[in-house]
Amino acid sequence: MSLPPDLINELQKQFTGDIRLDLASRVLYSTDASIYQIEPLGVLIPRVQDDLHSVVELAAKYKVPVLPRGSGSSLGGQAIGKALILDCSRWLDNIIEIDPESHTATVEPGVILSALNRASAKYGLMFGPDPASAERASGTMQLAHIRFCTACLPII
Ligand SMILES: Cc1cc2nc3c(=O)[nH]c(=O)nc-3n(C[C@H](O)[C@H](O)[C@H](O)COP(=O)(O)OP(=O)(O)OC[C@H]3O[C@@H](n4cnc5c(N)ncnc54)[C@H](O)[C@@H]3O)c2cc1C
């Protein structure tokens, strides 16, 4: 499967982040922390949240698979595939709001878990799961391990 030229044209008009379709970038994103290697169709690095909307809409229109990626520290090959890789770790790593009253944090998908925990610590809160990869693992970790407890943050 290759990317339809019309999809690339539309991406170049709408997407404000980096569009990397060259071989070097595809090889770079063909691995994660697992033993597997799969070359993706291309790599997109969104700069703003609207870029995420554009990619999902265009990918659906052209029936091309999309694979979001955080820090790529997955051990089972979850962050690689024959898809358009959406690397959220570069620009979309902000903490938007922490509400200590509702124990809720609103974050961008690439937020690093340890950064979220440092920001939450001033309210006496932390995100429940405490993986060894916390200095690298991103919002993905939060998506994958949502937990609720009295001292923990549910993430939206
Ligand atoms: C040294 C080391 C130690 C580790 N220790 C632990 C540990 O103690 N406990 C533990 O549970 N795991 C551990 N892991 C595994 C890994 O760190 C976790 O699985 C972590 O959650 C992966 O986060 P990531 O940001 O790297 O995700 P990625 O590897 O980038 O992605 C993981 C999956 O989430 C999907 N995804 C990414 N972003 C989004 C998004 N925005 N929306 C929807 N889906 C998305 C991806 O498509 C992929 O399927 C460790 C890994 C390493 C290398």
Ligand 1 center–CA 44 separation, angstroms? 18
Ligand 1 surroundings by CB, under 6 angstroms? 32-33, 67-75, 78-79, 88, 109, 131-133, 137-141, 143-144
129 lies in which domain range? 95-145
Ligand 1 center–CA 75 separation, angstroms? 8
- Assigned domain for 115 exists: yes
Ligand 1 center–CA 77 separation, angstroms? 10
81 and 59 Cβ atoms separated by less than 8 Å: no
Q: 17 with 75, same domain?
A: yes
Over the stretch 93-135, which tens digit does the pLDDT of each residue have? Answer: 999 999 999 988 888 989 999 999 999 999 999 887 888 888 8
Q: 10 with 58, same domain?
A: yes
**Which of 43-58 are b and which e, b meaning 16 or more Cβ less than 10 Å from the residue's Cβ?**
bbbbeeeebbebbeeb
Per-residue pLDDT, 151: 42
pTM over 0.75: yes
- For residue 95, the surrounding DSSP H or E stretch is strand 95-99
Say how far apart CA 85 and CA 95 lie, in whole Å. 22
Q: Which residue has its alpha carbon closest to ligand 1 atom 50?
A: 133
Mean of pLDDT over the chain: 88
